[in-house]
Copies of this chain bind each other. A is one copy, B any other.
Amino acid sequence: MDVTVARIAVVAGDGIGTEVTAQARKVIEAVLPDAEFDDYDLGARFYNRTKEVLPQAIEDELAAHDAILLGAIGDPSVPPGVLERGLLLKLRFDFDQYVNLRPSRLWPGTTSPLAGLKPGEIDMVVVREGTEGLYVGAGGVLHKDTPAEIATEESLNTRHGVERVVRDAFARAQRRERRHLTLVHKTNVLTHAGGLWARTFAAVAAEFPDVTTEYQHIDAASMFMVSNPQRYDVVVTDNLFGDILTDIAAAVTGGIGMAASGSVNPERKYPSTFEPVHGSAPDIAGQGIADPAAAILSASLLLEHLGHPEQARRVSEAVAAEVASRTPGAPLRTAEVGDRVAATAAA
């Protein structure tokens, strides 16, 4: 057990981000009464007011925390890429959050768009690389807005970066019941990066003889994720493929309402960020009707990461119970969901 007090930076962000994060915080307080919280006002409102995305002084303060609880960032008033690159991705890169953890489960009380699937039948976690690949921002534009324009994007991949995330995924697979790990890439077309991933995967596999392995191309995996999601246990893949695959996984488990995410620095040298996969949903913001389940499940990942597995389990089970108890079609009040989950988890 960790006896130090958890220091959590809260970046609630925009739109429904503030509403769902308040509930996630409430639930953490219920199971970890000593936790300390510091609020940071970042996101579209901050940017529109200051024209800054993440001042260095604030990033330094964030760095002094154990974890970041993030809501949602973004608003149509800000051009695409500004907040994503300047805040979300900057934190992933600067804080070396190389393991992007995205569990997907078909929970009791949720319905999948896939026919005939029963709760419990899908239970997987995608381990997405978080600091390399096409997300590094390498590339450029020449002769912009002329017929001669060209634009490039470069995917950068290192043995260092691939090996550490692959090893993390193997270790996670080893701790699970099925002990199965699927590597997803596109080795038949992206032969350079695909080769590095495939060779590294094979090398690390030798350290985990009790984990069964499989390789799939991203196009085939995207198809199987729809036709047979039950087959997946742990999946490891690169940054962009992970972005796509986890959204498909969210869709087949009933949408992003339950999709939690952690951008993790496993060594805890830097703070890790925990956030729901959903966005700021400006259309329903401010009404108190956003579902905080994904934000609270992200708080559960935070608790697990900070060394409180028992509290983490109680929180995710409380969310599962709350969701299972909902009357289909009945209106949902964000704060009431948070209250119920906090009460159950604390008990």
A213 at the interface (CB under 8 A from B): no
A252 touches B226 (CB 8 A): yes
Most buried by B among A84, A137, A219: A219
A2 at the interface (CB under 8 A from B): no
Contacts of A135 in B (CB 8 A): 189
Given A139-B155, A155-B139, A222 contacting B244 (CB threshold 8 A): yes
B193 touches A139 (CB 8 A): yes
Contact with B along A141-159 (1 / 0, CB 8 A): 1010111111111111111
Q: How many copies does the complex hold?
A: 2
Chain A: interface size category: 35 or more
Most buried by B among A151, A156, A220, A240: A151
A54 at the interface (CB under 8 A from B): no
Contact with B along A71-108 (1 / 0, CB 8 A): 00000000011001100010000000000000000000
Contacts of A220 in B (CB 8 A): 247
A80 touches B153 (CB 8 A): no
Contacts of A255 in B (CB 8 A): 223, 227
In the complex, residue of chain B having the shortest beta-carbon distance to the beta carbon of A158 = B150
Contacts of A248 in B (CB 8 A): 222-223, 226, 248
Pick the contact of A149: B143, B159, B188 (CB < 8 A): B159
| Alpha-carbon distance A248/B114, docked complex (angstroms) | 13
Contacts of A225 in B (CB 8 A): 251
B154 touches A155 (CB 8 A): yes
Pick the contact of A190: B146, B153, B194 (CB < 8 A): B153
A223 touches B250 (CB 8 A): yes
Pick the contact of A244: B159, B194, B244 (CB < 8 A): B244
A residues engaging B (CB < 8 A)?
80-81, 84-85, 89, 112-116, 134-135, 137, 139-141, 143, 145-160, 186-196, 199, 218-220, 222-227, 240, 243-244, 246-248, 250-252, 255-256
18 A-B pairs whose Cβ atoms sit less than 8 Å apart in the complex? A81-B191, A115-B115, A134-B189, A139-B192, A140-B192, A146-B159, A147-B159, A149-B159, A151-B158, A152-B156, A153-B192, A153-B193, A154-B155, A189-B240, A219-B244, A222-B247, A227-B251, A248-B248
